[in-house]
């Protein structure tokens, strides 16, 4: 795998995920294995084997499941690779780089403004978590003290800037500056 290339799922991974999706969809719709199998005209053991991954789900069976359950099975399959441990944010003042996982965000304290940091940080987080722009970001508690030391907390528009870059509602973004100030005081007290 090349540097920066995202891991992809193998056919085996997809088959396992499809089996799990079929079981999840059936359960959420409220069908028992017996009831779903009867509605599809197959033996319960065939459906059980397919959902447990012991037998493949072919195109016909998948179509029958999607018709019966009224949902696409891929709605229950994540395109994300397996979980990776979180890496804390790290700021290198000499280089002027905030490390967000495997990505770096260029930011120089006292030179760049809050928009530059929030824009870069939100883009890096979206890329790391594979989130589209339409999904609001949720900050992790470990990120808040680092951001508190980098952002200009006197910026009167900080809440609005965070709302814009993180895709949050005004209610959710309200108090962002206050949260950062509390984190700043807490980290200073701990030191």
What DSSP letter does each residue of 131-180 carry, written as one string?
--TTSPP---TTHHHHHHHHS-TT-TTHHHHHHHHHT--HHHHTTHHHHH
Q: Angle 31-32-36 (CA atoms, 0-180°, nearest 5)?
A: 65
pLDDT at 152: 92
What lies within 8 Å, CB to CB, of 126 at 6+ separation is 132, 133, 135, 137
Mean pLDDT comparison of 9-23, 158-172, 173-187, highest-scoring range = 158-172
Instruction: Note the pLDDT of residue 83.
Output: 46
> Coil, strand, or helix at residue 69?
helix
pLDDT in tens, 19-61: 888 988 888 778 899 999 999 999 999 999 999 889 999 999 9
Provide the 10 A C-beta neighbour count for residue 126: 16
- Residue 55's nearest CA partner among 45, 65, 67 is 45
Q: Which domains does the chain have, with CATH numbers?
A: 11-76 (1.10.260.40), 90-190 (no CATH)
Q: Are 92 and 146 in contact (CB under 8 A)?
A: no
Contact (Cβ atoms closer than 8 angstroms) between residue 153 and residue 184:
yes
Check: pTM over 0.75? Answer yes or no.
Answer: no
Question: How far is the C-alpha of 118 from the C-alpha of 158, rounded, in Å?
Answer: 10
2 has a pLDDT exceeding 50 = no
Using an 8 Å Cβ cutoff, are 143 and 130 in contact? Answer: no
Quickly state the pLDDT bin for 14 (edges 50, 70, 90).
confident
Instruction: Give 79's DSSP letter.
Output: -
Q: Name the least confident of 78-87, 126-135, 164-173.
A: 78-87
Mean pLDDT comparison of 8-12, 36-40, 71-75, highest-scoring range: 36-40
**Which pLDDT score, from 0 to 100, does residue 1 have?**
34
- Rounded Cα distance between 55 and 45, Å, is 10
Task: Tell me which DSSP letter residue 55 carries.
Answer: S
Q: What is the pLDDT of residues 132-172, one digit of tens each?
A: 877 888 888 888 889 999 999 999 999 899 999 988 888 77
pLDDT for 75 beyond 50:
yes
Which pLDDT band holds residue 5 (cuts at 50, 70, 90)? very low
């Amino acid at each position: 795998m090349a540097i920066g290339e995202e891991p992809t799922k193998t056919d085996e991974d997809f088959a396992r995920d499809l089996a799990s999706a079929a079981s999840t969809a059936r359960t959420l719709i409220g069908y028992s294995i017996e009831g779903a199998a009867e509605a599809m005209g197959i033996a319960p053991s065939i459906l059980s084997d397919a959902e447990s991954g012991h037998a493949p789900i072919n195109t016909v069976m998948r179509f029958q499941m999607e018709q019966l359950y009224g949902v696409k099975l891929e709605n229950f399959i994540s395109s994300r690779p397996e979980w990776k441990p979180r890496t804390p944010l790290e700021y290198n003042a000499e280089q002027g780089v905030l490390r967000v996982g495997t990505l770096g965000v260029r930011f120089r304290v006292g030179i760049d403004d809050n928009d530059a940091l929030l824009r870069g940080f939100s883009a890096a987080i979206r890329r790391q978590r594979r989130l589209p722009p339409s999904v609001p970001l949720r900050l992790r508690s470990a990120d808040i003290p680092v951001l508190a030391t980098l952002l200009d907390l006197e910026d009167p528009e900080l809440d609005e800037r965070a709302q814009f870059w993180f895709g949050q509602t005004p209610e959710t973004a309200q108090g962002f500056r206050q949260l950062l100030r509390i984190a700043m005081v807490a980290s200073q007290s701990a030191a």
